């Protein structure tokens, strides 16, 4: 590397710059995909919990009606 000319250093710097920003772009895309997937899973889990709570309320109301009758 001591025999590198200025143009070689410039090309190396440009290549490194492009490589780093390409990697950053890929990492951001992956992060966004993972975040979207986890957000979707969390929303689905919250919906399941809401439905389970509603079903439990309905069962308790039915059981209370059965005992009263």
Stated pTM of the model: 0.65
Token pair for 58: 């309905």
Q: For the chain, what is the domain count?
A: 1
Classify residue 2: in a domain, yes or no.
Answer: no
Classify residue 42: in a domain, yes or no.
Answer: yes
Classify residue 13: in a domain, yes or no.
Answer: yes
Token pair for 10: 């410039």
pLDDT for residue 11: 97
End-to-end CA distance of the chain: 92
pLDDT for residue 3: 85
Q: Over the chain (69 residues), what is each successive 10-residue block's mean pLDDT?
A: 88 98 98 98 97 92 77
């Amino acid at each position: 590397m001591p025999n590198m000319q200025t143009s070689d250093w410039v090309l190396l710097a440009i290549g490194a710059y492009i490589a780093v920003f390409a990697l950053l772009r890929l990492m951001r895309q992956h992060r966004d995909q993972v975040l979207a997937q986890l957000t979707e899973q969390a929303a689905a889990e919250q919906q399941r919990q809401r439905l389970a709570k509603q079903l439990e309320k309905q069962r308790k109301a039915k059981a209370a009606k059965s005992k009263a009758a």
